[in-house]
Amino acid sequence: MNASSASETRAATVKLLIDGQFVESRTHQWRDVVNPATQEVLARVPFATPEEVNAAVASAKEAFKTWRKAAIGVRARIFLKYQQLIREHMGELAALLTAEQGKTLPDAEGDVFRGLEVVEHAANIGTLQLGEWANNVASGVDTYSLLQPLGVCAGITPFNFPAMIPLWMFPMAIATGNTFVLKPSEQDPMVTMRLCELALEAGIPPGVLNVVHGGAEVVNALCDHADIQAISFVGSTRVGTHVYHRASLAGKRVQCMMGAKNHAIVMPDAHKEQSLNALAGAAFGAAGQRCMAVSVAVLVGRAREWLPELVAKAKQLKVSAGVEKGADLGPLISRAAHERVLGLIGRGVQEGAKLALDGRKPTVPGYPDGNFVGPTILADVKPGMSVYQEEIFGPVLCVMQTDDLDEAIALINANPNGNGVAIFTQSGAAARKFQEDIDVGQVGINVPIPVPVPLFSFTGSRASKLGDLGPYGKQVVLFYTQTKTVTARWFDDNATAQSMNTTIRL
């Protein structure tokens, strides 16, 4: 965990954000932020001390006293300004993201843009946070509800979307009147911190947004802290399950979006060219490091004959550093991720899968030290195999076969995860049956990665999600607010006095 003395002398340090100031951590624990294509040390990130975590939460708690009463227009204008700043700095943000995470520049821009959509949604907070009113529920009595902020909220974000996921979290929490403590991934925090700089420039007041860095100790400190009211998490199932149970026991409101094993059914009547192109992009784009990546293709009936053409399309994809023109997929985030993916491919072959396309040793000119794995296709995969049971999180597509749609649906519903699923077909009847019978949160019909726009909410299910409410859309307004119901009666000065025992007759 500790950085080498050489990296300490040449790499910049990532700062904490506490009470509106970017400050140097006093910690003795640091981690290198490494370019996954070159192994160059880009920066050093601190693992915040308990005192620093407490200071960030205390700052948020104090800021909440005034921010909770900020006018709707004030909050909306900040996020209108913020979305403008993100657009103006899109190229800079994408380049920074590519350097530390490895995505191609187009993928990096997409990462930022999908977060930007939620920022735009936050600017509409005036209509999203409306309560309800009922006039004359009894004679002269009205009842109405208010959606009021909770207090200090926290977010824990993963490495694979270091722009989008933070932008899913703190804009909506802050727009609804809360204050926020963010813990980005320690593997690629630089683009997140630049987004926070822009957020302050847009007008977010001191203490309303705070950032601490670290690993398990910081995560646990946020889960346990008595002054934090709600926690949002996106990441692995192992960590998410821990966060959910620990924070729930501490009395917090929690949402955890976790692991996945996303299937795509290809029916024999599907448009072949479009379907195969969609599969290749969804399976191998972003080096497969998406919680919504298609990791299993289920070829139904005669569609199983399309495997050679799918392999041919995958072979055409260019593996290179994200900054290189024409790159389709870049490196994996770390050496550890690289070794894990290679190990799972090997286990898949040992357990009987057929290696239809081997991407374990791609040639990437100019980048001999990169964490590269090329597109890999494992055919004849069976449900009991490791490559099917585990989330690989790399550019590996498992191919399975069924005789009909019913068998494909049963296969998918038997998988414990329920993040995303897709079907490729030209039959309306098949599509409708699929959307009715499939037990998965996000369904795509001829759409391989069905992540909803912010008007709707991200809706993973089963082992892919813990908590009732999603991370954006209408659901997240409910997550970050509490409902207060008021029943009111006003008396005219000339009204006849009533007995103290008079009751309201409904």
Apex 408 CA angle, 407 and 411, nearest 5: 85
Reading the block at residue 440, the tokens are 């998965």
* Spatial contact of 422 and 443, defined as CB atoms under 8 Å apart: yes
Which residue, among 217, 223, 188, 2, has the nearest Cα to 97 in the 3D structure?
188
Q: Which two tokens stand for residue 173?
A: 């929490």
* Lookup: tokens for 84: 């403008």
Q: Tell me which amino acid residue 199 is.
A: A
- Beta strands 442-445 and 420-424 are parallel
What residue type is 311 in one-letter code?
V
For 228-257, give one letter per residue: b (16+ CB within 10 A) or e.
bbbbbbbbebebbbbbbebbbeeebbbbbb
Q: What tokens does 73 get?
A: 């227009």
Q: What angle do CA 48, 220, 24 make, to 5 degrees?
A: 10
Determine which one of 153, 196, 291, 398 is catalytic. Answer: 291
**How many Å apart are CA 191 and CA 268, to the nearest integer?**
43
* 329 strand-pairing partners: 319
The whole-angstrom separation of Cα 153 and Cα 171 is: 12
User: Strands 354-357 and 376-379: what pairing?
Assistant: antiparallel
Beta-bridge partner residues of 481: 149
291 is catalytic: yes
Asked whether the CA dihedral 111, 114, 115, 120 is positive or negative, the reply is positive
Q: What is the dihedral of CA 232, 236, 237, 241, to 10 degrees?
A: -40
Residues 162 and 189: beta-carbon distance below 8 Å? yes
Residues forming the active site: 291
